Amino acid sequence: MLIQRRGFTLVEMILATSLLLMVSGTLYSLLLGTQRLARSQSQHLRLQSEVRNAMLVTLNELRELNTAQAQGSDQNDVLSATSSGLTYRASRGFGLTCQPGSATQLRLARAEFSGARDPVPGRDSVLVLTEPDTAAGAEEVWQPSAITAVSNAVCPGSIPGIAVSLPATSSLLGVTLGTPVKIYEVMELKLYQSTGQWWVGLRSVSTGEAIQPLAGPVTADGLRFEFLDRFGQPTADRTSVRSIHLEVQGRSEQYVDWGGVDTSLTQQLGSDLVLRNSVGP
């Protein structure tokens, strides 16, 4: 018995090919859309993380800033201020003297010292709370001094301590037991441009190091400071600053498809910081 085999007609072939192309085109479009969406989400998540981390580090750096109204500019931790940069005394530790100070040394009780690390000579300095002349009605002031050396020491009663050596010109002789001592480092936080992009940068002024990127890239105005007085009004006088409004605006590192247009994403985050000892007239 002869079996007759029938093939595909030209019309069937054309129809099958057309359907295959349509399905392939749809799948390819879905794949491209998924890739664009994944790329966009990845950039957006990275941008959010970058801006959030920058804000957290910045607030952590600035949260110990102190102001001292009517006591002179040297009593304020804000050393210089612009709309896109700030130089300040960054807190690195706090302790109490465990015995009266000598002409060139302070000893701090280690159990009462709080800080991420021990003081570092040449990088850190001290602020010592002194009483100039209470009979004359003078207020306590924070007296700064450089640190020449740091070593382990023993306080009275065999208590572990930290010996902080000072220059002979510090004039801190007579510091009493239990005197507060702050360890600080002069830092600079600012907006700067490098490799054609803008960054939020941080550097130690005390050591003279080069600016290092803290976050970025950001927009051309990606770091903004506004310094406010006790009335909440902007002020250019750093000794009158009671609070700081801070904004960080990041920009995605790559362009993404947004509504059919290649563009860079931006993310903005703001916060307000009240300086210590800012309450009062």
Q: Kindly report, residue by residue over 173-220, the tens digit of the pLDDT.
A: 678 888 999 999 999 999 999 988 999 999 999 999 999 998 889 999
DSSP annotation of 97 reads B
Predicted local distance difference test score (pLDDT) of residue 33: 64
Using CA atoms, how far apart are residues 53 and 273, in angstroms rounded to an integer? 16
CATH class of 89-184: mainly beta
Is-above-0.75 flag for pTM?
Answer: yes
Segment holding 181, helix H or strand E? strand 180-194
pLDDT digits (tens, 9 = 90+) for 117-134: 899 999 999 998 887 655
Angle at 13 between CA 8 and CA 15, to 5 degrees: 130
Whether 200 and 189 have beta carbons less than 8 Å apart is answered as yes
Using CA atoms, how far apart are residues 179 and 249, in angstroms rounded to an integer? 42
Predicted local distance difference test score (pLDDT) of residue 279: 54
Using CA atoms, how far apart are residues 118 and 227, in angstroms rounded to an integer? 32
Q: What is the share, in percent, of the chain residues with pLDDT greater than 70?
A: 81
Domain coordinates in residue numbering, the chain = 42-72+186-274, 89-184
User: In whole numbers, what is the pLDDT of the chain averaged over residues?
Assistant: 83
How would you write 224-245 as a 3-class SS string?
EEEEECCCCCECCCHHHCCEEE
Bridge partners, 188 (sequence order):
87, 203
Whether 266 and 251 have beta carbons less than 8 Å apart is answered as yes
pLDDT digits (tens, 9 = 90+) for 37-90: 666 677 777 878 888 888 888 898 898 888 876 555 667 889 999 999 999 999
